[in-house]
Amino acid sequence: MPRSSPTIDLPKARQLTHSMNEGTQRERLPVLIFEEPAQIAYQVARRIANLVEERRAVGQHVVLGLPTGSTPIGVYQQLVYMHQNQGLDLSNVITFNLDEYYPISPDSLQSYHRFMRENFFDHVNIPDENIHIPRGDIPLEEVDAYCVTYELAIEKAGGIDLMLLGIGRSGHIGFNEPGSGMETRTRLVVLDEITRRDAASDFFGEENVPRHAITMGVGTILEAREIILLATGEHKAPIVRRAVEEEPTREVTASFLQLHRNATFYVDRAAASALTREETPWVVKEVDWDPAMTKRAVIWLSEKVGKAILRLEASDFFNNHLHSLANRYPSIDVLCREVFEDLRQRIIYPDYLFKKKRVIVFSPHPDDDVISMGGMLDKLVANKNEVLVAYMTNGSVAVFDADVRRYLQFMDMAMEVLGADPELMQKVHAQKDRLLKFLEKKGPGEVDLEEIQRLKAYIRYSEAVAGIEVMGLGPEHARFMDMPFYKTGRVRKSPVGPADIQKVLDLLNEVKPDHVFVAGDLSDPHGTHRMCYFAIREALKLYNQQSDPAEADESGKDKKGARKTKSAGGGVAKPQVWLYRGAWQEWEIARADVFIPLSKADLDRKIEAIFKHESQKDRAMFPGAYDTREFWQRAMDRNRNTADELNRLGLPEFFAAEAFVTTYDMP
């Protein structure tokens, strides 16, 4: 029996009243911000579990609308854990998935049927007859009737109680592309260019992505009694702001959730970063003018009015919501000089960079080191530091089959020159023919043979060594960690586990670094950077527990302020952590702790090192859907832009610059 329509309950009403005091008056529906995606996953899973248990207590079932993609995986993992370890009974749950590609076989690697079973359904006790996922393998002439049947099944179940959603880069929910109206129902749709580009890596090429999909309509979604939209990552920030703060429009179908009486966005801090209350909070509320907020505001004002910091006037502050900041200082000159000097002192020239220290550069993929911090790496070597570059994953899934064919052909030609005897040559020829036959018959996204995975890894490894050789390092300075979570042979990876963390911890214990460089760029398309970051963070927690508190304080310095590599008590001092970015975005000027200036020669050398990664040159397997430039172009543009921004603020004019955030405890 259908239940009554949703209404806002008193707790949510109180939450909305409270949020108005928190600067959210531009937000047209509730937005809950969490520090980490894991917190979102737990809270949403707990909400689902509570709903399931409440309904079970009164003998009712629960109808869930479920999405796919990387964002909801954490929710599914939490529910699986609750089922397997805390006794959560899901036998009274009925599910309806949002969408499916068309045409596609249910057992295809990219099928949402397979995704849901591998990540959720195979691990819980939801009855098979209660699971509904749109089929992508029905004849085209039957699709319209099938979609009507899907709608009737939802209605027969009593309607959807709780709908989970993600949000696409174009603002779509489900596969309701821009232009979809509120009246739409389950139907066959044509996927737009952005959506297909976003999916290209999963299908190993945009040409392999289906052009159609079956999706619930916006109208179907809005009839759910409760809606939770999940969004994580900085690349989602612009569209989250549009969906939340701008008028509902067909161009951003997620914006229609504003019209629902019980819809909430659950976002991490990165996805919320473009919201007014996060980006420019002084525009919508009173703020605590600590040094970090003051610097953000002055830099923002300088960029907005197009003046260098030291040329800002009182009227600039008073006309742009910053009167409360201006009134805290005896004069605008004092305020601006304070921020200017803060930024100036963050510019570190090579002579003032540390020397003769032990350094680990953690690189998630075999090219992130030179792409994101090639200039810094060059200067670390010049300053005679002991540098070890730890490549955490082998990057094999990002190598085209054509590269394997090329190298196999090279080996075939080189055997005689290398002095191979006829028997060995015959074995190599036979193995080469076997591998080439597999590649010839291989389908899009099919998992490679183990030998081919290893060959692709060796291609990336050889390129990585060639890249750091440009900086004066050699093979002995490269460590290929081959983290277990990555070794699936597929785009989708396993969760980071104890074995991954232990590998990092073993390396830390071996090297005992004074400085550790970590990728803080968490918006890579498939989360590898984020997973590597997590493994390093957890390993560093364990490593830092060995620190002797009597000898080293929280900053990792002794009482005289000198860096310590080992305490008298036998423990180790905390290494300083440098977070770098560059492959997908750069640190904002206000957030960066250190700027490393680069000359034209420095930048040219960095680009030369990036060029050594030939398998990623010209056309990378996974360039990221929202940036079509090659990686060397991104690195060049971002480093030049950082220098240009510093120049516009009135700081010294450099050809280029890299930015870093420094810390001792990774957030």
Residue 550 CB contacts under 8 Å (≥ 6 apart), including other chains: 567, 569
Model confidence at 446: pLDDT above 60: yes
For the chain, where do the domains classified as CATH 3.40.50.10320 start and end? 355-398+447-663
Residue range 124-153: average pLDDT? 97
Q: In whole angstroms, what is the distance from residue 537 CA to residue 544 CA?
A: 10
Instruction: Decide if 645 contacts 589 (C-beta within 8 A).
Output: yes
| Local structure of residue 654 (DSSP, 8 states) | -
Sheet holding 187-190, edge to edge: 99-102, 212-215, 187-190
Which residue, among 221, 254, 228, has the nearest Cα to 151 in the 3D structure?
A: 221
Quick: pLDDT tens for 510-519.
Answer: 999 999 999 9
Which neighbouring-strand residues pair with 376? none
Six-digit token string for 225: 């009694």
Instruction: Decide if 386 contacts 355 (C-beta within 8 A).
Output: no
* Concatenated DSSP letters of 115-174: HHHHHTGGGS---GGGEE---S-S-GGGHHHHHHHHHHHHHHTT--SEEEE---TTS-BT
Q: Which segments of 244-320 are extended strands (E)? A: 263-268
Q: Which fold has domain 355-398+447-663?
A: Rossmann fold (3.40.50)
Model confidence at 79: pLDDT above 90: yes
Packing angle between helix 498-511 and helix 528-544, nearest 10 degrees? Answer: 60
State phi, psi for 79 to the nearest 5 degrees: -65, -40
Neighbours of 606 (CB within 10 A): 30
Model confidence at 1: pLDDT above 50: no
Six-digit token string for 243: 């969906």
Is residue 177 among the annotated active site residues?
Answer: yes
Instruction: Decide if 568 contacts 555 (C-beta within 8 A).
Output: no
How many H-runs (helices) and E-runs (strands) does the chain carry? 21, 17
Which residue, among 601, 487, 497, 532, has the nearest Cα to 368 in the 3D structure?
A: 532
What pLDDT score was predicted for residue 273?
94
Quick: pLDDT tens for 292-343.
Answer: 999 999 999 999 999 999 999 999 999 999 999 999 999 999 999 999 999 9
Residue range 544-569: average pLDDT? 47
Six-digit token string for 335: 């305020």
Residue 589 CB contacts under 8 Å (≥ 6 apart), including other chains: 299, 343, 642, 645, 646, 649, 659
pTM above 0.95, yes or no: no
Q: In whole angstroms, what is the distance from residue 123 CA to residue 77 CA?
A: 9
Catalytic residue (one of 100, 177, 223, 645): 177
Q: Which fold has domain 10-17+27-277?
A: Rossmann fold (3.40.50)
Nearest-Å Rg of the Cα atoms of the chain is 27
Residue range 190-208: average pLDDT? 79
What pLDDT score was predicted for residue 200?
73
Residue range 194-217: average pLDDT? 84
Sign of CA pseudo-dihedral 23, 27, 30, 32 = negative
* Concatenated DSSP letters of 199-257: HTTTTTSGGGS-SEEEE--HHHHHTSSEEEEEE-SGGGHHHHHHHHHSPPBTTBGGGGG
Quick: pLDDT tens for 570-621.
Answer: 466 899 999 999 667 889 999 999 999 999 999 999 999 999 999 988 766 5
Chain-centroid distance of CA 355 in Å reads 33
AA identity, residue 136: G
State phi, psi for 333 to the nearest 5 degrees: -60, -40
- What is the share, in percent, of the chain residues with pLDDT greater than 90? 75
Six-digit token string for 547: 């620190």
Sign of CA pseudo-dihedral 404, 407, 411, 412 = positive
Residue range 279-290: average pLDDT? 95
Mean pLDDT (the chain) is 89
Six-digit token string for 123: 């691990």
AA identity, residue 611: F
Instruction: Decide if 339 contacts 310 (C-beta within 8 A).
Output: no
Instruction: Decide if 71 contacts 77 (C-beta within 8 A).
Output: no
Judged by average pLDDT, the poorest of 62-76, 200-214, 361-375, 402-416 is 200-214
Residue range 439-446: average pLDDT? 84
For the chain, where do the domains classified as CATH 3.40.50.1360 start and end? 10-17+27-277
Residue 112 CB contacts under 8 Å (≥ 6 apart), including other chains: 68, 97, 99, 100, 101, 133, 134
Model confidence at 144: pLDDT above 50: yes
SS3 597: strand
Q: In whole angstroms, what is the distance from residue 239 CA to residue 248 CA?
A: 13
- What is the share, in percent, of the chain residues with pLDDT greater than 70? 90
